Chains A and B, each alone.
Chain A
Amino acid sequence: MKKINFKSFPDKNGHFKDYGGKYVSETLMYPLEELEKAYNKIAKSPAFKKELLNELHNYVGRPTPMYHASRISKDLGSCNIYLKREDLNHTGAHKINNAMGQAMLAKKMGKKRIIAETGAGQHGVATATACARYNLECVVYMGSDDIQRQKVNVYRMKLLGAKVIPVDSGSRTLKDALNEALRDWVSNVDDTHYIIGSVAGPHPYPMIVRDFQSVIGTESKSQMKKINKKVDILVACVGGGSNAIGLFYPYLNDNVAIYGVEAGGFGLNTNKHAAPLNKGKPGILHGNKTYIMENSNGQIESTHSISAGLDYPGVGPEHSLLKDLNRVKYVSVTDKEALKAFYYLTEQEGIIPALETAHALAYAFKLARKQSKKNILINLSGRGDKDIDTIATLQGIVI
């Protein structure tokens, strides 16, 4: 059988085979084309790459460490667990990798105003930060339910000079914030760039965000090489899937087992989860074709996850392709399992992970218990400071 080059997508029309594409109203076709052209011309130039690398090094704090979690490795059996410490990035998550790249691109495109959507607030904070750095006006759309559960991040964005606009339509979460940001963009395309925070949205976004996040996997490869270790298993959490694709992409053609972990919420057999790759069907949402959660009428269903960042009914189209090609195995972890992993890592390694990341940890720990002598690399995509309120409330503590 002919070997598939997993890194040959998307095609020139933005399709990942059946998935991806540009399912948008006519008004957005021109700005998307303009963005794609600018991206190919500016962002792929050696000068841009050099400048971005310099920014990532001096401003963001890259390369992030590759940490061998020896206590938990030993406690769980014979596997070695490595953590790619994206939580140690400036602003505390992988989101800044993409925000910096796109803000720099927007500035060079002559845009004055940046809009973004955010769920947990991490992408909003990262975008607000990059906008402060590059002197760009910043407007962040956030579902009013998410504003309630992520108050600290809302305040951070305001301190950074961003305007946070609550979104009261639909399910008042990430998907509705994305709708509102798209509406803003349609109305203000001349001076505004939209920084999508995940590998979702219409082409070229899934490609651009993946490329900017791929620094995670590229760094990981060279770091593991340096310590002479071969990675056997990669694990990352998948909401929209940007941290996951960032880690996976550089490894796609390598002999490595890859797991993407979706939010199982109260369990896949309830309807309270956010696992479209496990339980959804291909459909069209937010400008692309991908696995989504919908009802029998094709209406998008509201999702549930303990982590706002995974609470999304769609997923990046490249993940849909990787699922169909059986290149990545998409699994899920419940709220409860994620919480357990959250406490475990905090107590055993002194690292407080984001609740999103805790999903990847929970599944990786399961694997570590079952497998022997494997090197497991987990994308520690973000730190858990933003979730402290949620955790304390669960424990019945008022901070």
Chain B
Amino acid sequence: MNRIAQVFKEKETAFITYLICGDPDIRSTEKIMHQMVKSGVDIIELGVPFTDPIADGPTIQRGVERCLQKNISLTDVFTLIKNFRKKDLSTPIVIMGYMNPINKMGVHKFAKKAKLIGVDGVLIVDLPPEESMLINQLLRENNLDQIFLASPTTKSSRLKKIIDMSSGYLYYVSLKGITGSSISDFSELKKRVIYIKKTSNNNLPITVGFGIKNSVIAKNISKFADGIIIGSSIVELIEKNLKNKKVMFNKINLFIKDISRSLASK
């Protein structure tokens, strides 16, 4: 069983976090990752900086720009994961990013390298199943999960196609919008998640991301989702405390612990 499947087997609700590789700097990203695991995070999605992040809101965009100023590349992402794996062999890592940097590296090389250094899954934001044929096959050959997005506007016919090509888990985008927006209708969200679970015959963990900003929202969603994903709120804590890393680490830690507790106490 791979690391991602292991998490969903053991945990009722997986706690997944996102942060951008190199934010606020490479060493700090790695430090935050280890700290997150200690405080209850189950899966880490590591963002690859890209100049044109069309699905991301202002908070993540600014985070990405911070990293691009330091020329953080896909190669740096691999190096970071390699270093992370020296101390942690059990926490699944998902590379999340846009297609062009991967295309530039070459999809064959990317898939091979990702497997080699201990990546578990890949989520390419701007690569729907229709454009994923080749990379999906390459990732499968390397035993890597490809995680796809589903959204409130995804029709049932496409949903089946998405589920067929997905492995690991499905990332359900809770709202029509970009990262950092707010969820307005929980009952609708619940209905959708239950519908997607049914469509997948309960064979694919359904996680929810976008708009989860605090432990109350996290707890609410954990009642029906297999996992929750938090990104913008963490990137925001980094941004707000750029001048004092000690305070930054501490605040992120408190935030993670709070969410973690709320998931455990449902």
Contact = CB atoms under 8 A, between A and B. Distances in A.
A27 B54 contact: no
B151 A299 contact: no
A356 interface: no
B146 interface: no
A283 B104 contact: yes
Contact of B73 (A29, A170, A297): A297
B178 A183 contact: yes
Contacts of B152: 27
A84 interface: no
A183 B51 contact: no
Nearest to A182: B54
B57 to A, nearest CB: 7
A24 B178 contact: no
B91 to A, nearest CB: 26
A25 B153 contact: no
Interface in B83-108: 98-105
Contacts of B258: none
A189 B131 contact: no
Given A24-B128, A183-B54, 14 more contacts: A22-B131, A23-B99, A23-B126, A26-B148, A27-B176, A182-B54, A186-B55, A283-B104, A297-B71, A298-B74, A298-B101, A299-B101, A300-B51, A300-B52
A7 B102 CA distance: 31
Contact of A23 (B56, B131, B148): B131
Given A182-B54, A183-B57, A300-B100, A189 B126 contact: no
Contacts of B54: 24-25, 179, 182-183, 286-287
A187 B177 contact: yes
Contacts of A189: 153, 176
B177 A298 contact: no
A31 B153 contact: yes
7 contacts: A24-B54, A26-B173, A186-B55, A188-B176, A190-B176, A284-B103, A287-B54
Nearest to A187: B177
Interface residues of A, number: 35
Contacts of A294: 100, 104
In the complex, which of the residues A27, A30, A183, A294 has the most CB atoms of chain B within 10 Å of its own CB atom? A27
**The 3 nearest A-B residue pairs measured at CB:** A298-B104, A298-B101, A30-B153
Interface in A194-241: none
A182 B55 CA distance: 8
Contact of A186 (B104, B131, B155, B177): B177
B10 interface: no
A25 B51 contact: no
A26 B104 contact: no
Given A183-B54, A186-B177, A286-B52, A26 B74 contact: no
Interface in A246-294: 283-287, 292, 294
A187 B131 contact: no
Contacts of B162: 26
Contacts of A296: 104
B30 interface: no
B52 A285 contact: yes
Nearest to A26: B149
B172 to A, nearest CB: 9
Nearest to A283: B100
In the complex, which of the residues A24, A25, A189 has the most CB atoms of chain B within 10 Å of its own CB atom? A25
A26 B170 CA distance: 12
A299 B176 contact: no
Contact of A27 (B51, B74, B153, B155): B153
Contacts of A179: 52-54
Interface in B107-166: 125-128, 130-131, 148-155, 158, 162
Contact of B51 (A21, A26, A30, A170): A170
A175 interface: yes
Interface of A: 13, 21-27, 29-31, 169-170, 175-176, 179, 182-183, 186-190, 283-287, 292, 294, 296-300
Contacts of A31: 153
Contacts of B71: 297
A24 B126 contact: yes
A300 B61 CA distance: 15
B149 A30 contact: no
Given A22-B130, A24-B54, A298 B154 contact: no
Contacts of A188: 176
A24 B99 CA distance: 10
B258 to A, nearest CB: 28
A358 to B, nearest CB: 28
Contact of B55 (A21, A25, A170): A25
B154 A169 contact: no
Contact of A26 (B53, B98, B128): B128
A298 B98 CA distance: 10
Contact of A30 (B49, B148, B155, B181): B155
B65 interface: yes
B159 to A, nearest CB: 10
A373 B131 CA distance: 48
Contact of B154 (A21, A29, A187, A190): A29
Contacts of B18: none
A371 B127 CA distance: 47
Given A21-B131, A22-B128, A187-B177, A27 B52 contact: no
Contact of B178 (A26, A186, A285, A300): A186
B51 A299 contact: yes
B169 interface: no
A30 to B, nearest CB: 4
Contacts of A186: 55, 176-178
A133 B128 CA distance: 37
A21 B132 CA distance: 11
